[in-house]
Structure 1
């Protein structure tokens, strides 16, 4: 991956629906080689998919909470059961298994604090193997989600 590939990726992360002709102009290529590079990045699995970024408030999911989860038992069966159950919760919009004291970090998006309390009580606390849940309500997004690309 060279400097131009990184520029393409950076631009596509900001504007994934940008027409190829405009993308090519921004990265200093003509349209054909630019499109070839994008297709190669897709084929190589560097670009895994395209998605729409939604306004969480406008879709009724404006209250976000990061939840640290510690499991009571860390055997294969408990981990598998926990992960399968988490995948079935629509309120969980992101889930990560971690090294360290905390086993998982979940990002939960719901309408408001009352909806989160219901989710916490009726769903999160009932997940297989949960020993402890610690909630961290989101105050402000300082850096939106992005990949760690170096400057071009």
Structure 2
């Protein structure tokens, strides 16, 4: 169970994962050792899954962001597993969801250009034997950046 201090600690770490135990303690009115122990407990209990740097896609050569909807011909477990494996192997696909509704999957992708997105769709996704249809939406502008989870 999370108390208010745990929630504040999680919110602070989502904004800056580099905070030291001293800095967290100052923010939360705890000693550095108490703040450090709380962080360790939240990590051990799985509330904190890891720490990562958020890169600027354009700076690393990824100028196209798109959402790709995939509709399947079949929903047999083996075909779904094979499709999930394919998606896991593609570095352009940064996240994926199984959906209700017309599309079975929604993939968020980053590509260097439209040619690379076209290759991903026509040479990787569509040839998969259980894929019936692929529809993509190219992001024109991301007016709200990926935000921390509400705590």
Structures share fold, TM-score greater than 0.5:
yes
| Residues in 2 aligned to 1:104 and 1:20: alpha-carbon distance in whole angstroms | 40
Query: What is the distance in 1 between the residues matched to 2:91 and 2:149?
Result: 27
* Cα RMSD, aligned residues only: 1.4
- For the 8 Å contact 1:65–1:136, the answer to whether it is kept is yes
Q: Which runs of 5 or more structure 2 residues have no equivalent in the other structure?
A: none
> Offset at 1:147?
4.8
| Residues 85 and 128, structure 1, Cα contact 8 Å, conserved in 2 | no
Query: 2:70 matched to which residue of 1?
Result: 69
- 1:39 equivalent to 2:54? Answer no
User: Taking structure 2 as the reference length, what is the TM-score of the superposition?
Assistant: 0.92
Matched, 1:88 2:89: yes
Query: Against the structure 1 CA distance between its residues 131 and 17, is the aligned structure 2 distance closer, same or farther, given a 3 Å change threshold?
Result: same
The structure 1 segments of at least 4 consecutive aligned residues displaced by more than 3 Å after TM superposition are none
Shift of 1:25: 1.2
Q: Deviation at 1:33?
A: 0.8
Distance 2:6 2:120 in 1: 42
Q: Per-residue displacement from partner, 1:11-59 (whole Å, max 9, x unpaired)?
A: 1111111222112212222211111110110010000111111111111
In structure 2, what is the equivalent of residue 20 of structure 1?
Answer: 21
User: Partners of 2:99 and 2:148 in 1: how far apart?
Assistant: 18
Alignment coverage as a number of residue pairs:
150
Deviates most, 90-99 or 102-111: 90-99
Question: 1:11 aligns to what?
Answer: 12
* Alignment partners' CA distance in 1, 2:91 and 2:100: 25
Match of 1:141 in 2: 142
8 Å Cα contact 1:81/1:128 also seen in 2: no
Instruction: Tell me, in whole angstroms, the C-alpha distance in 2 between the residues paired with 1:4 and 1:137.
Output: 40
TM-score by length of 1: 0.91
Deviations 1:90-123 (A, max 9, x none): 1111111122221110011111112211222111
Of 36-45 and 19-28, more deviation after overlay is shown by: 19-28
